[in-house]
Chains A and B, each alone.
Chain A
Amino acid sequence: MTNASISSDPTPPNAAGIFLNADFMNDLRQQMLKFARLQVRDDQLAEDAVQEAMLSAYKNIDRFSRQAALKTWVFSILKNKLIDLLRKEKRYTAASQLEEGPNVNGEELIEVLFNKHGHWQKSERPQKWDTPDHGVENAHFWRVFDACLNALPEKYSRYFMMREFLEMDTTEICHNEDLTVTNLNVTLYRARLRLRKCLEDNWYQTEKTS
């Protein structure tokens, strides 16, 4: 009676094993820290958030029979913690309003991409990204993506991550950051223009020619 024996045991046999797998737990912790640091930009706060998320996973050890389930769960806890932190942080963090970064940004970027009539410059026309499936699985892709994120001006990356990683809605971000909707929309547009160009120049194009 296999079914009966499974249902009589609420803890899957390998649940605790996941937590004892030092390599897995260490990798997971590093991934979480990296993700948290990108967003709160304060090592101590990031560390605390990761710690708390890990702790709540330990408390719910019975729920996880697979590493993937634990990851998904612990990341969703971490996300909520980061949202809380960003809400509190609002008072004492003045996110840099500068659009400075290692590359051309803001109005200057728009002038590079479009001609005076607002049409694409020939050399800047978006190319077909034809590697979404196998390309995105690739570890090298994620390194390029990280580098492109890190190269964004602070203001861009902060709003972009709030919107896309933490999936906060526009009104909430505006409320948190004392921004007008128009201002946020323009900033997100510029962040996406920058990120799109970075990915195209450093991943999709080089893949094509290699």
Chain B
Amino acid sequence: MMNCQQATQLLSEKLDRPLDTKEKISLGVHTTLCPPCRRFAQQMEELRSISKRYTKDPDDK
């Protein structure tokens, strides 16, 4: 089974390329069982949305 370091790397790569089926399944199994990696996944999404705001809503700063 995939460890947290491998899972977090895939969670980052997911933002840059489509994962293949095998990767999706192993990642899905891992995050189901691992709350810290689930949080990491949410934070990766959050990091992307923060970056979008940084450039798109200069009013916020």
Contacts and interface: CB of A to CB of B under 8 A. Distances in A.
Contacts of B54: 142, 145, 165
Given A118-B4, A142-B60, A185-B17, A165 B50 contact: no
Interface stretch (A3-11, A85-93, A189-197): A189-197
A19 interface: no
A145 B56 CA distance: 15
Interface string B3-15: 1111011001101
Q: Binding site of B, secondary structure by majority: helix, strand, loop or mixed?
A: helix
Chain B: number of interface residues, binned into ranges: 20 to 34
Contacts of A189: 8-9, 12-13
B40 A165 contact: no
Contacts of B21: none
A188 B46 contact: no
Interface in A169-192: 170, 181, 184-186, 188-189, 192
B44 A192 contact: yes
Nearest to B55: A165
A196 B47 CA distance: 8
Most chain A Cβ neighbours within 10 Å, of B39, B49, B55: B55
Given A125-B36, A164-B51, A189-B9, A196 B61 contact: no
A125 B40 CA distance: 9
A119 B8 CA distance: 10
B6 to A, nearest CB: 6
A120 interface: yes
A175 to B, nearest CB: 14
Contact of B47 (A110, A114, A184, A192): A192
Contacts of B49: 132
A139 interface: yes
B3 A142 contact: no
Nearest to A138: B60
B16 interface: yes
A128 B38 CA distance: 10
16 contacts: A71-B58, A75-B58, A126-B39, A129-B42, A132-B49, A136-B60, A139-B61, A142-B61, A164-B51, A181-B17, A184-B16, A185-B16, A185-B17, A188-B15, A192-B12, A196-B47
Interface of B: 3-6, 8-9, 12-13, 15-17, 36-37, 39-40, 42-44, 46-56, 58-61
